[in-house]
Amino acid sequence: MPASKKLAIFDFDGTIYKYQSPDKFADFVARKGLRTFGLQIVCTVLDRYYKKYWVKHKKLKLAKIKGRPLEELRKKADQFINEFIVGNLIDIVDKELEKYILDPEFDVIIASAGYDIYLEKFARMREIPLFVATRVEIQNDSATGKWTGADCYDYQKVARIKEIVNLSEYDLPNSVCYSDSMSDKPIFDLVGNKFFVKKVGEEYVIKYI
């Protein structure tokens, strides 16, 4: 019998949310101090002159949260969602997301290179049971300032999705994926219906590709 259930895969940063959340979260959580100041100087130099080193930039940003207790991170994640995320969702995409959340024929997955510590809360808030994200490493109930495993980016998104669902149980030709970046080609290639999110002037449009 052919699969009847379908997937709706959504990228988060630049797709559901207007901006890039990982660095914003790291900056939001970081304590002021000489170490944080030094890391920020290096990040600023990389951002200005060495754009190709964006992964190193992201790692340096995350290093700012080293030593922050897990319970404090969870509280900060709640604040981050309320203060930065909720008011900056892309309306046209958010309506599409809600449509698939309410459709019993679809299982929604958020697939993001953002951090699990706050994306889990966003997913729970929207009653989305499935998400994959870059995992903040926690040891002895405190952040190490690193992520654990690979960054949830590019082909790694597909690998993570395969960890939580059996793709053979889904009608993939009739499933959908939304993203603002062709770096998400691996998850676009999983489904038959691909939607590219693009900012045009001050507005956002969704283009079928």
CB contact set of 122 (below 8 Å; sequence gap of 6+): 12, 81, 85, 110
pLDDT at position 142 is: 97
**Can you point out the beta strands (E) in the chain?**
6-10, 106-115, 130-139, 142-148, 176-179, 193-200, 203-208
| Domains recognised in the chain with CATH numbers | 6-208 (3.40.50.1000)
pLDDT value of residue 136? 97
Q: What is the pLDDT of residue 182?
A: 93
pLDDT of 58:
85
How high is the pLDDT of residue 187?
98
- Amino acid occupying residue 100: Y
Segments of the chain scoring below 50 in pLDDT: 1, 34, 53
| The pLDDT of residue 143 | 96
Which pLDDT score is estimated for 196? 98
| Cut 0.85: pTM above it | yes
Given this model, what pLDDT does residue 34 score? 45
Q: For position 43, what pLDDT does the model report?
A: 57
DSSP β-bridge partners for residue 109: 9, 130
Structural contact between residues 6 and 170, judged by C-beta atoms closer than 8 angstroms: yes
How confident is the model over 32-66, as pLDDT tens digits?
654 555 556 655 665 665 555 455 668 888 988 99
